[in-house]
Amino acid sequence: MLSSKGLLSIYTSRHLKLFNRLLSTKVAKELKLPKRKSTVTEKEVYKYFNYPERKLAHSFPETFFVKKRGKTPDNFYIASNVAASTIADSIKKDLPADKLIMEINPGIGLLTEKLITETHNDLFLYEAHEQLFDKLAIILHKSQHRKISLKQCDFIGLWKMGYLDKLDDGNRVELLFDKIQRKEFDDDTCARLFACIGSAKFFKDFINSIIFQIGFSAVGRFEMFLCLPPPIFIQLAASPLAGYFLYRPTSVLFQLLFEYEFITKIDRRQFLPWRATPTNSPKVGKILLTDFDYMYLIRVVPRKNLFQYCTPNHLPALWFYVKQHLSSRKKQVIPTLERWIPGCGPRLIVNAKPIKKPETLFPCNEATSLPSFVAPSTSLTVNDFVDNINIFTQFGNLTPTQILTTFNEFINWPEYESCAFVDVLEKALMKMHTRPEDADDVLSDDDSEEDPKNFKEGS
């Protein structure tokens, strides 16, 4: 049997050095912890909030604090009682006693508690993240005497559900609204809805649901109170003077299909996740930095009288007409329409019909009181003829109601039903059933037809 001295002699000096090196390497690796890359840290968020709201912010999972640089989150969450009170005051204003309230992504329930305390209306909650259900369950348990429901659903990703329903003939969207009383489109609204949205896809889906009367709009009309990052609202409500970079087909369709009202600005730091400061891009930097320290609170309602100006049967044609002719701002109105119906130009130039200009719907939303590049919401008219129209007049210079007027003239000409436009429209509609619509109108660095230096503020 070897003595202890003999055992030690087995380990040569070389072995001991190797053993020590292995040990030191292992310890070094254990001490080197991976760093979480972020542009906004929890420490900065906590520093902004005063106690006790700092405790409220701490209630959110850490993944809610940071998003990747340059990417706007699809969902935002209220993290301040100040913001919750501002929003609740707007929702409560002129609220009918029997009106259903829907809250999308209630988070830790700051707005939810105020709506329960300050109203007696039924309340439906839709939350995407299951890890927040415990906090919402506590609120619901205290209000068992009220009709309040909670569903797990990515409401902002509604367009994805609609596309899957189209692929497999499913009923996901229908099940989402199964407890909501359906109403005709020209009837009263079904509910008041609140959401904090950072996704332009949501609005593209909402526009399509009205155009094709499916999904969201098949239930009826919703009166929506929305908190948005400024760039999204600026593009949706852009004036023609903003230029092609902002004034896109989605802008025209949104302004024709919806009444919209700018309510107020709210400090963006009262919402999570915090938006990362955008890069100083020469193309989109000016727009992305507009009112960067705020979120916009707006009110949006589908127009009750929409079908008086464009029947449901003609809505798909209007959708295609706008997308086709606004794909380039510089498309000239008369030469473009004459490609569909030769010789139609003089009918637009020599117009004997009375002109009726649209009226601003909300006096507090005059152009001078709105954010830069934004046009006020107006009434609809199909008699907003372009003054002194000629062969050089471009679609990109027309207001939404002027585009609607040219469309109404176009579809009422006797040659319309047999013209090539109808055939191209049918092919486009068939294509929609085979793949999702391209995101061609979303504000991005790729949109570069016009130099943003040519932007003009105002409407």
Range of weakest confidence among 66-80, 196-210, 246-260, 318-332: 66-80
Higher pLDDT, 309 or 54: 309
Higher pLDDT, 214 or 304: 304
The helix (H) or strand (E) run that includes residue 435 is none
228: pLDDT strictly greater than 80: yes
443: pLDDT strictly greater than 80: no
The chain-wide mean pLDDT, for the chain, equals 83
**Beta-ladder partners of 261:** 299
450: pLDDT strictly greater than 60: no
Query: Looking at the domain that runs over 46-309, which CATH code has it been given?
Result: 3.40.50.150
End-to-end CA gap in the chain: 98
Neighbour count for residue 256 (Cβ, 10 Å) = 24
- The answer to whether the Cα torsion of 260, 266, 272, 278 is positive or negative is positive
> How much is the pLDDT for 440?
45
Provide the pLDDT confidence category of residue 321 given band limits of 50, 70 and 90: very high
Higher pLDDT, 112 or 277: 112
The helix (H) or strand (E) run that includes residue 106 is none
Provide the pLDDT confidence category of residue 42 given band limits of 50, 70 and 90: low
> How much is the pLDDT for 318?
98
Higher pLDDT, 26 or 267: 267
Higher pLDDT, 436 or 77: 77
Tell the residue number behind the tokens 């210079």, with chain if given: 397
> How much is the pLDDT for 72?
72
> How much is the pLDDT for 188?
96
Name the residue ranges covered by the structural domains of the chain. 46-309, 313-454
> How much is the pLDDT for 252?
98
16: pLDDT strictly greater than 60: no
Q: Give per-residue burial for 1-38: e unless 16+ CB within 10 Å, then b.
A: eeeeeeeeeeeeeeeeeeeeeeeeeeeeeeeeeeeeeb
Range of weakest confidence among 109-113, 205-209, 247-251: 205-209
The answer to whether the beta carbons of residues 297 and 261 sit under 8 Å apart is: no
95-98 own/partner pairs: CB under 8 Å, 24+ apart: 95/119, 95/121, 95/192, 97/121
> How much is the pLDDT for 40?
47
Tell the residue number behind the tokens 């509609």, with chain if given: 429
Q: What DSSP character marks residue 149?
A: E
Q: Is 53 helix (H, G, I), strand (E, B) or coil?
A: helix
294: pLDDT strictly greater than 60: yes
Residue type for position 195? A
Q: Give per-residue burial for 60-93: e unless 16+ CB within 10 Å, then b.
A: beeebbbbeeeebbbbbbbbbbebbebbbebbee
- 330 exposed, middle or buried (CB, 10 Å; 0-12, 13-18, 19+)? exposed
The model's pTM: 0.83
Range of weakest confidence among 185-194, 269-278, 416-425: 269-278
In whole angstroms, what is the distance from residue 299 CA to residue 225 CA? 5
325: pLDDT strictly greater than 90: yes
Range of weakest confidence among 67-71, 263-267, 347-351: 67-71
The helix (H) or strand (E) run that includes residue 410 is helix 400-411
